[in-house]
Amino acid sequence: MFHKEGFFIIIFTFLFTAGIALGADFFIDIIWLKWGLQGLALGLLIIVLQFFRNPKRDTPINADHVIAPVDGKVVVIEEVFEKEYFKDQRLMVSIFMSPINVHVTRYAMSGKVLFSKYHPGKYLVAWHPKASEENERTTIVLENKSFGAILYRQIAGALARRIVNYAQESQDVIQGTDAGFIKFGSRVDLYFSLGTNINVELNQIVKGGVDVVAKK
């Protein structure tokens, strides 16, 4: 199963691969060169298909749990000042996605979208300390009666050139469903109230839509 954000790129890459394969077979007589070009074209198609895969995840809906919005590695757990929306001290958990991870963003909890804003910006590497403030990013705030309000931020990286965000203000969303997509990787930051029970550790690999990041 592939994400809808990749359909155009997948079709284009498939046609490009087919064109290279047929052209090499028709015009090139040198066996190693023909097979090399065909192999490179096929490898490109496999990479694109791998990148835009959208595996089905069975998310147990739980109003007291915040799940990982993306696949990746927990690289930061620290107290920071969140200056865009809450404007106070928050507990931040950052999940870094490598190019081989699934890049679908899923709603971390069910609730209402209070805030959704896109920010154009730079393309620093995702682990750069200033990436969360200077890179292209989106900021989304969700709230439900049980857990309260959380903020998550999709952040572009050095390779990412497009962030897709489906969250619209006043929209009711369901935990685990598609919230967007970050093309060609980066990271997602989650911001919680101080004292929140964090359920992950540094360097832990998490699966979006499945693993619990925080509990009430």
> Which tens digit of pLDDT belongs to each residue from 27-73?
888 888 889 888 998 988 888 887 778 888 889 899 999 999 999 99
Q: Could you say which DSSP state residue 120 is in?
A: -
Confidence of residue 7 (pLDDT cuts 50, 70, 90): confident
User: Is 94 labeled as catalytic in the residue annotation?
Assistant: no
State the Cα–Cα distance between residues 20 and 14, nearest whole angstrom: 10
Among 101-105, 134-138, 184-188, 211-215, the range with the most confident prediction by mean pLDDT is 211-215
**Class of domain 65-215 (CATH, top level):** mainly beta
Determine the straight-line distance between the first and last CA of the chain, rounded to whole angstroms: 33
State the Cα–Cα distance between residues 18 and 140, nearest whole angstrom: 40
Q: How far is CA 107 from CA 86, 140, 143, 166, in A?
A: 19, 10, 11, 10
Provide the sign of the torsion angle of the four alpha carbons 62, 63, 69, 73, taken in this order. negative
State the Cα–Cα distance between residues 121 and 119, nearest whole angstrom: 6
State the Cα–Cα distance between residues 179 and 113, nearest whole angstrom: 11
Q: Which of 94, 110, 132, 186 is catalytic?
A: 186
Report pTM: 0.83
Upper half-sphere CA count for residue 57 (Cβ side, 13 Å) = 27
% pLDDT > 70, the chain:
89
Q: How far is CA 39 from CA 16, 34, 36, 91, in A?
A: 13, 9, 5, 47
Per-residue pLDDT tens digits for 60-98 = 899 999 999 999 999 999 999 999 999 999 999 999 988
β partners of residue 163: 182
